[in-house]
């Protein structure tokens, strides 16, 4: 095997590529060190902190990262207790949040306090599915309609072809099947167990397409035609849902609104109407909420979720109304939150530990995790709406370092 200096010189001279270092050394740790030192030399930067990590790069380099040079670190805070009254999550939970935004953890923590004093947040899972939608091409509009009819008539055959690739994935429907000129966009909809399932449904859909092309001769333009809709905000996902569709609600007595949030139910309702509903409508937003992305992002980074799905999880609608007796009804609905408690980034050691804090790591835990996510989003959303109604937002950020 070549020594480290020789490999770095070959990289500088472009005799080898950075992804080929593993072929020249005995271990992944050596490859990581050489690649990092190469970057230090060409950039003139000492990567002291990037080199300081505890995760095992051997499995990570096989499943989670290519060309590794180290890790980045994000501060991890804890919030709670969050009292959840769910079908799958029951009791008090402490929730890890990874963020660099001062005031976020404190704000969510205030929401948790309001929730606990009000008897807990009710959470439910509305739906659970993952999608992949290829784009196909026929010879004409008539041909496209014939392909659409064939798919509808042979769903059982396509289901069998898809499910042969997976033990956990189940094809539950192909809908909608959109036709645009010669192009056909069938949306394959699966359940995926405790995995987020994106890779699973991609492989399964590819297998079903092999049968479809063999039987019909249709041309597959691309395995993904953007009707999935994956890692992008879309009205289709807001309406149809994707990943875990979840909701959380609570009734907060008016005296708790006054004492804890320093506001009134009437003021919070008006802020929600003017900001989240009307403000979002006139700006053309896809989703009507104040800050779902904050809590979704912090939980995703803490627990090893696919961070690109934060854009989907940030969609949703906040509902606030004053009850007849003057109490505050408050709810969040998130139709598109892809989650996993097994596989993918959840296997990274820090992500696993974060999930274990909530007893949400491993098989059979994803619905519990989804309900905790819903409750956490409500806690943060409620706290921010209270701060806005009371005029405290700027002061909180100034006090906590985010002026």
| SS3 state at 244 | strand
- Give the CA count within 13 Å in the CB-facing half-sphere of 68: 26
Residue 180 pairs in a beta bridge with 183
Q: Catalytic pick from 22, 29, 40, 101?
A: 101
Distance CA 52, CA 32 (A): 12
**Architecture of the domain delimited by 76-127+244-399:** Alpha-Beta Complex (3.90)
Query: Cα–Cα distance between 196 and 201 in angstroms, integer?
Result: 10
Looking at 128, 194, 230, 306, which residue is catalytic?
306
User: Looking at residue 402, what is its pLDDT?
Assistant: 53
Report whether 200 contacts 208 (CB < 8 A).
Answer: no
DSSP state of 363: T
**Which of the following is catalytic: 30, 146, 356, 397?**
397
Tens digit of each residue's pLDDT, the chain (403 residues): 568 999 999 999 999 999 999 999 999 999 999 999 999 999 999 999 999 999 999 999 999 999 999 999 999 999 999 999 999 999 999 999 999 999 999 999 999 999 999 999 999 999 999 999 999 999 999 999 999 999 999 999 999 999 999 988 999 999 999 999 999 999 999 999 888 889 999 999 999 999 999 999 999 999 999 999 999 999 999 999 999 999 999 999 999 999 999 999 999 999 999 999 999 999 999 999 999 999 999 999 999 999 999 999 999 999 999 998 999 999 999 999 999 999 999 999 999 999 999 999 999 999 999 999 999 999 999 999 999 999 865 555 555 655 4
Tell me how crowded residue 127 is: count the other CB atoms within 10 A of its CB. 15
The verdict on whether omega for the bond into residue 176 sits within 30 degrees of 0, i.e. cis, is: yes
CB 389 within 8 A of CB 271: yes
DSSP state of 314: T
92 part of the active site: no
* Active-site residue flag, 397: yes
> What are the residue ranges spanned by the domains of the chain?
10-63, 76-127+244-399, 134-222
What pLDDT score does 373 carry? 98
The distance of Cα 299 from the centroid of its chain, to the nearest Å, equals 9
Give yes or no: 19 in active site.
Answer: no
Helical packing angle, 4-12 and 28-43, nearest 10°: 50
CATH architecture of 134-222: 2-Layer Sandwich (3.30)
Largest CA distance in the chain: 78
């Amino acid at each position: 095997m070549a020594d480290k200096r020789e490999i770095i010189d070959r990289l500088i001279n472009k005799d080898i590529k950075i992804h080929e270092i593993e072929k020249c050394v005995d271990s992944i740790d050596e490859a990581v060190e050489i690649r990092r030192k190469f970057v230090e030399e060409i950039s003139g930067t000492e990567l002291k902190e990037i080199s300081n990590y505890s995760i095992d790069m051997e499995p990570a380099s096989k499943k989670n990262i290519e060309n590794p040079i180290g890790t980045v670190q994000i501060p991890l805070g804890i919030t709670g207790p969050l009292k959840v009254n769910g079908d799958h999550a029951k009791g008090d939970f402490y929730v890890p949040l990874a963020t660099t935004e001062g005031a976020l953890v404190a704000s969510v923590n205030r929401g948790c306090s309001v929730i606990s004093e009000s008897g807990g947040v009710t959470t439910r899972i509305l739906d659970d599915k993952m999608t992949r939608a290829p784009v196909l091409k026929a010879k004409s509009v008539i041909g496209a309609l014939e392909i659409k009819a064939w798919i509808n008539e042979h769903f059982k055959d396509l289901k069998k072809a898809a499910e042969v690739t997976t033990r956990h994935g189940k094809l539950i429907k192909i809908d909608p099947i959109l036709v645009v000129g010669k192009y056909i966009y069938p949306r394959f909809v699966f359940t995926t167990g405790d995995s987020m399932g994106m890779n699973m449904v991609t492989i399964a859909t590819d297998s079903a397409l092999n049968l479809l092309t063999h039987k019909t001769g249709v041309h597959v333009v691309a395995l993904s035609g953007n009707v999935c809709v994956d890692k992008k905000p879309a009205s289709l996902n807001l309406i149809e849902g994707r990943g875990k569709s979840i909701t959380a609600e609570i009734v907060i007595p008016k005296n708790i609104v006054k004492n804890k949030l320093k506001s009134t139910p009437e003021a919070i309702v008006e802020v929600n109407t003017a900001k989240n509903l009307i403000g979002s409508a006139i700006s053309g937003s896809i989703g009507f909420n104040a800050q779902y992305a904050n809590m979704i992002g912090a939980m995703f980074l803490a627990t090893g979720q696919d961070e690109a799905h934060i854009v989907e999880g940030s969609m949703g609608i906040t509902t606030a109304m004053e009850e007849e007796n003057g109490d505050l009804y408050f709810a969040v609905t998130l139709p598109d939150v892809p989650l996993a408690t097994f596989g993918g980034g959840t296997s990274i050691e820090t992500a696993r530990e974060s999930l274990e804090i909530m007893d949400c790591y491993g098989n059979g835990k994803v619905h519990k995790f989804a309900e905790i996510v819903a409750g956490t989003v409500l806690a943060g959303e409620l706290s921010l709406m209270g701060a806005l109604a009371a005029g405290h937002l700027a002061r909180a950020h100034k006090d906590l370092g985010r002026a």
